[in-house]
Amino acid sequence: MCGIVGFIGKNPEHVLLNGLKRLEYRGYDSAGIAVKSTDKIELFKAKGEIKNLEKVILPIANADIGIGHTRWATHGKPDEINAHPHVSGDKTWAVVHNGIIENYTELKTKLMGFGYGFYSETDTETVAKLLEYYFAKDGDEISAVSKTISAIKGSYALGILKKDKDGIFFAKNKSPLFIAKAGEEIMLASDIICFKGFAEEYYPLTDGIFGYASRGNIVFYDKLGETKIAPVALDLGEYDNLNTYKHFMIKEIFDTKTALKNIIEYYSEKTNYDKLKDFDFSGITRVKFVGCGTAYHACLLGADMFCEKTGIEATAYVASEFRYQKVKLGSDTMVVLVSQSGETADTLAAFELAKESGAYTIAIVNVEYSTLAKRADAYFPIKAGVEIAVASTKAFSAQLSVLNVFAGIFAKKIGSETDPLSDLIKLYETFDYGNLNDFKLLADVLRYNDNLFMIGRGNDYYVAQEASLKIKETSYINSNTYYAGELKHGFLALIDEQTYVITFATDKNVLSKTLCNAEEAKARGGKVILCTCFDLSPSDAENFYYVVRVKELGNSLQAVLNIVPWQIIAYYISINKGLNPDKPRNLAKSVTVE
């Protein structure tokens, strides 16, 4: 995680702060900037969100260069000492970093042996000390940067100042980094959203690239020496804002139907629709879906959709475990990787393993300029638009929708006559957001609980997992999910009169069994909340503490109709508890560390 920004031009403090606010989704444990004025570097740091940093920054005369950082803590607690930027012992170098230096302990021990002291618990401080060490050897800054990144094992996006240089050094490996130029001004950032309103094109840095930017000029290097990078057009569409909403989370939930419309329009175009036309999948016998967190829950549902539409067995995997489960991979395997950001480190590691094995790789992504989108054999954008809230909502619904379309396109390629967009069009025509007043009342009831249970069977269980995650993320309630049929195998011991059991029951094939499981919980005193798309008789409805009604769709995208009420309920639980649903504690959106 973490976000970095750099700027060469007037009023760098102002530009850096604005950039960091756009990057705050990447972490908000602490923040800091380093600004160069004449021949000195001024540091400002603060614990917590960017607004805390904003309060401590003082005006700096003649400032024209700076770097900034918003942190998601990996090494060392989130405080001002561990906040970036970090500096060399002689205060000559200042560094901001996104990524993980895997061999920092070894490097730190070596540098301490040379007499270098350390003030923080971070891995990043070793970078600042390495720069000082290598520069002292031969007096050349580019050489010092090159030798430093050669010594590092792991991932990094680096922005570097030197107090007697009028520019910014940079380097990238496995963490996103982009650079843009507007006249004499230069901007460096972890996400191209920082370039909105600044430039019309940008330079996408690839792994192993480093360089130096000064007024109006950027020089790129790779391991062979100076190199060239072609700029690409900046295409962000309309950058999101809150409009009349109080938080991004609720705005993004209510952007879901727009996202569904965008997907239908995009995949109605022939060139976007038939992205698999050049691939020969006749020998595919295994399909693996891989993702983390919310994307993993989408994979669980996506694997079922794929199997249903194609007849080919498909399995979902948690990306962080994929490399360690001895998964069989080869040229007869297709690996579908799902990621909102396209920069998720565990998912990218799974991608590398898949590529090494000779498998076909398909990316289902929201960020079309991301590493995953650019490197996969084919990618299918989910067209959800910018998502700012850390807890993913519209992106989850869009992932499910595109996974459904993808399965339909693949099925058509191997002989199906069904329109791949038919399920999605029916969802769009059926979709609504439900009764908000009912959801608010239910949220007010659930806010007082420390524990919740959610149960379901099949796809209902997968939706329960995502609903549970949303409540955990935004409300800090210990929400747990179980297969409905597994209650009797131990979990009933946890249920008493204070327990709420939320039961998802929208699959007609197992409806009676799921309702029987709910009765088991009720018989032990549990208060059962039912989420269903089926009509209940008045007497049946009285068996439940509360009933959340959703529309019946009749296809595998029923999951979208089922999850949206619980996204809304999670939002209202959070604000009823006085929390910020956009920025859950200890979390960040783009997880670029393993």
257 is catalytic: no
**Tokens in use for 311?**
């007849």
C-alpha radius of gyration, the chain, whole number: 25
- Of 36, 412, 472, 589, which residue is the catalytic one? 589
**Tokens in use for 429?**
């025509």
> What is residue 34's three-state secondary structure?
strand
2 is catalytic: yes
> From CA 258, how far away is CA 394, in angstroms rounded?
9
> From CA 488, how far away is CA 356, in angstroms rounded?
44
The strand pair at 217-222 and 156-162 is best described as: unpaired
544: how many CB neighbours lie within 10 A of its CB? 19
State how far Cα 54 lies from the chain centre. Answer: 26
Beta bridge partners, 289, equal 316, 336
Beta bridge partners, 218, equal 213
Helix (H) / strand (E) containing 363: strand 360-365
Helix (H) / strand (E) containing 305: helix 294-310
Q: Are 281 and 410 in contact (CB under 8 A)?
A: yes
- Distances from the Cα of 6 to the Cα of 16, 178, 187, 188, 195, angstroms: 7, 10, 6, 5, 11
* Unique residue bearing structure tokens 């508890």: 577
Q: Are 506 and 558 in contact (CB under 8 A)?
A: yes
- Of 2, 194, 292, 531, which residue is the catalytic one? 2
Question: CA angle, 230 as apex, 227 and 232 as ends, to 5°?
Answer: 150
Catalytic residues: 2, 589
